[in-house]
Structure 1
Amino acid sequence: MYHQFSRATGRLVSVSASNLQSPLFPVAPIALQRAEPPAIQYNTAQMSTVNEACVASGARKTIPGTNIPYAPVPESIRKQQAQFQKDDDVPVFLKGGPLDGILYRLTMALCVVGLLGIGQTVYEHAFPKKQ
């Protein structure tokens, strides 16, 4: 005995095996077809080679795929990079100076206030006021 959906009612009905052309279960497993993956083809017309990018040892680096050099990095950004990469056992979110410390503490305080608000809401829903 098998089951199928009735077209008229949309409900599950029992059907004898003679009314079905083939049983629904068990389903025989089908072996996967093994195929070789396609080879990756690169567009070499738009890519520059290492020799083209490094014409001279003193040449500036170029944007990959072009011969356009990167824009020079301003000195202020170089100073910030040196400050943030310095190994002084200070977390990176505090390396910006005193303003970073203030923002960090403000963020932590707001997180605590939010957690207290969530706790208060859960408590009020768990123990409603008697009327």
Structure 2
Amino acid sequence: MYHQLNRLTGRLIASTHLQNPLFPVAPIVLQRVDPPAIQYNTTHMSTVTEATACSTGSRRLMPGTNIPYPPVSETIRKKQELFQKENDLPVHLKGGPVDAILYRLTMALCIVGLGGILHTVYTHAVPKKQ
């Protein structure tokens, strides 16, 4: 049985004219739709025209623009070469002795902090003897 609001009293009453629970909306059958094809970033999607890309020579353009990348300074180029060398060091130690000192200082502070946390948990868990 379906109910509706009475327009005069504002209370729920049994409905006599409702034929289905979706009255007055009838269900619509869903139609199967194929998912859209994924479009990867290719040259036909780029806003850069071929004439402007060739006019810059060997310089690469920023994606989606006609603006070439700015030149890289020499200090940044040296840092890139330093960090890209294959010398079996983790990246956080490739900067030299300063990085090693900072790494060890960070590890020491982590251990001190963990000790402080354990001390706090212990003092709250174990009551003081009276």
TM-score (normalizing by structure 1): 0.62
Q: Does 1:105 pair with 2:104?
A: yes
Deviation at 1:56? 6.3
What amino acid is the match of 1:55?
A: C
Distance of aligned partners of 1:112 and 1:53 in 2 relative to their CA distance in 1, 3 Å threshold: farther
Distance of aligned partners of 1:45 and 1:119 in 2 relative to their CA distance in 1, 3 Å threshold: closer
What amino acid is the match of 1:89?
A: D
Partner of 1:36: 34
Q: Distance in 2 between matches of 1:40 and 1:104?
A: 44
Q: Does 1:117 pair with 2:116?
A: yes
Deviation at 1:119? 0.8
What whole-Å deviation, never above 9, does each CA across 1:2-26 have from its counterpart, x for those lacking one? xxxxxxxxxxxxxxxxxxxxxxxxx
Q: Distance in 2 between matches of 1:45 and 1:82?
A: 33
What amino acid is the match of 1:66?
A: T
Q: Does 1:47 pair with 2:47?
A: yes
Residue pair 1:53, 1:61 contacting (<8 A) in 2 also: no
Which structure is higher in helix share? Answer: 2
What amino acid is the match of 1:92?
A: V
Q: Distance in 2 between matches of 1:72 and 1:39?
A: 38
Partner of 1:63: 62
Partner of 2:129: 130
Distance of aligned partners of 1:53 and 1:95 in 2 relative to their CA distance in 1, 3 Å threshold: farther
- Report runs of 4+ in structure 1 exceeding 2 Å deviation: 31-42, 51-54, 56-59
Partner of 1:25: none
Q: Distance in 1 between matches of 2:35 and 2:71?
A: 42
Q: How many residues align?
A: 99
Q: Distance in 2 between matches of 1:53 and 1:89?
A: 42
The percent of aligned pairs where both chains have the same amino acid is 62
Q: Distance in 2 between matches of 1:60 and 1:37?
A: 38
Deviation at 1:122? 1.3
Secondary structure at 2:59 match in 1? coil
What amino acid is the match of 1:71?
A: P
What amino acid is the match of 2:47?
A: M
Partner of 2:79: 80
Distance of aligned partners of 1:92 and 1:39 in 2 relative to their CA distance in 1, 3 Å threshold: closer
What amino acid is the match of 1:83?
A: L
Q: Distance in 2 between matches of 1:33 and 1:127?
A: 66
Q: How large is the RMSD of aligned CA atoms in angstroms?
A: 3.1
